[in-house]
Amino acid sequence: MTDQKIKDQNISHCGFVSIVGRPNVGKSTLLNQLLGQKISITSRKAQTTRHRILGIDTEGNDQVIYIDTPGLHIEEKRAINRLMNRAASSSIGHVELILFVVEGTRWTDDDDMVVKKLQDVKCPVLLVINKIDNVQDKTKLLPHIQEISQRLNFMDVIPISAENGEGVDIIKSIVKTHLPTGEHHFPDDYITDRSQRFMASEIIREKLMRFLGDELPYSVTVEIEQFKVDEKTGMYRINGLILVERDGQKKMVIGNQGEKIKKIGTEARKDMQEFFQTKVHLELWVKVKAGWADDERALRSLGYGDD
């Protein structure tokens, strides 16, 4: 190895990379793959991610800070949708690189909206075509890529499958070449900027998204009322409050003889134990708080819009 190479390896690098795209294209799945650990919740329903979340990947002298964002979407009628779009848009500036994630050969008006937002950015934009495992006829991929490439000057186009990891290493190596020299922003053992309390509420929300019917998840949010560490055993005692908008929704979350909320609690506790690496005692309650998703002040008190 040359002296120059040895010298370069000892220089600290750090930079921010935004992951943007419309809802449900696989941004959070990609972030989890890039980190090799699950920190961002995912589900088959659109608009699972509601907050901006940082995923920190430190390898030797290099620290990459990925910004996972809520999916950008046209519908902005409700206060919650406005805040989600704002959180996503604010992450577009001041980064080293943007990963624009789209889904196979499927293109929608929301994708067009994202392209418009990216039109004037100063940093390079990498087009990431996700879910290629779902594209049956691969011959359609090339003309599709050619068509999208006319809409924006992409630095490169990488087809991937975030679900099974295909192509993710290529993204990692491209990201590395865009890191400026500089001190690490976070301690090397950090994987996210978010508190354990926040992660606990997200894990519960993921189970609500996954186990409730198609419409209900958008009327539900979670507040952590208690987060205590038992000093003797190290066990976490967590109380979560599930807020819904109407009485009928409360019944649906609880389920027949409490079976639904029990399932949500069991699955959330399992994930929490894995994430926190300790035993967890979790209790869940459901409460009606009408109109929480339309009221910007109520949303702020629930932690929305701080992003």
Residues in contact with ligand GTP by the rule CB under 6 A: 21, 23-29, 42-44, 46-49, 70-71, 130-131, 133-134, 161-163
**Alpha carbons 142 and 159: distance in angstroms, whole number:** 10
Q: Which lies closer to ligand GTP via its Cβ, residue 105 or residue 161?
A: 161
How is 244-264 classified by DSSP, letter by letter? ESSHHHHHHHH-GGGHHHHHH
Q: How far is CA 197 from the centre of its chain?
A: 16
Nearest approach, Cβ of residue 275 and ligand GTP (Å): 17
Looking at the DSSP assignment, which residues form a beta bridge with residue 158? Answer: 128
CB 19 within 8 A of CB 65: no
Nearest approach, Cβ of residue 2 and ligand GTP (Å): 39
- Beta-strand ranges (E) seen in 49-191 are 53-59, 62-68, 97-103, 125-130, 156-159
275: which residues sit within 8 A by CB, 6+ positions away? 38, 199, 203
Q: Which lies closer to ligand GTP via its Cβ, residue 70 or residue 240?
A: 70
β-strand 62-68 against 53-59: which pairing, if any?
A: antiparallel
Buried b (16+ CB within 10 A) or exposed e, 21-43: bbbbbbbbbbbbbbbeebbbbbb
Q: Hey, what amino acid is at 78?
A: R
CB 104 within 8 A of CB 79: no
Nearest approach, Cβ of residue 162 and ligand GTP (Å): 4
Cα–Cα separations (whole angstroms), residue 168 to 39, 101, 124: 17, 12, 18
Nearest approach, Cβ of residue 231 and ligand GTP (Å): 36
- Give the strands of the sheet with 236-244, arranged side by side: 221-229, 236-244, 280-288
Q: Which lies closer to ligand GTP via its Cβ, residue 13 or residue 131?
A: 131
Cα–Cα separations (whole angstroms), residue 14 to 60, 137, 156: 11, 39, 21
Q: Which lies closer to ligand GTP via its Cβ, residue 49 or residue 105?
A: 49
Residue 11, classed as helix, strand or coil, is: coil
Q: Which lies closer to ligand GTP via its Cβ, residue 5 or residue 44?
A: 44
Nearest approach, Cβ of residue 20 and ligand GTP (Å): 9
Q: Which lies closer to ligand GTP via its Cβ, residue 47 or residue 201?
A: 47
Nearest approach, Cβ of residue 245 and ligand GTP (Å): 20
Nearest approach, Cβ of residue 32 and ligand GTP (Å): 8
Q: Which lies closer to ligand GTP via its Cβ, residue 3 or residue 306?
A: 306
Nearest approach, Cβ of residue 110 and ligand GTP (Å): 10
Q: Which lies closer to ligand GTP via its Cβ, residue 34 or residue 179?
A: 34
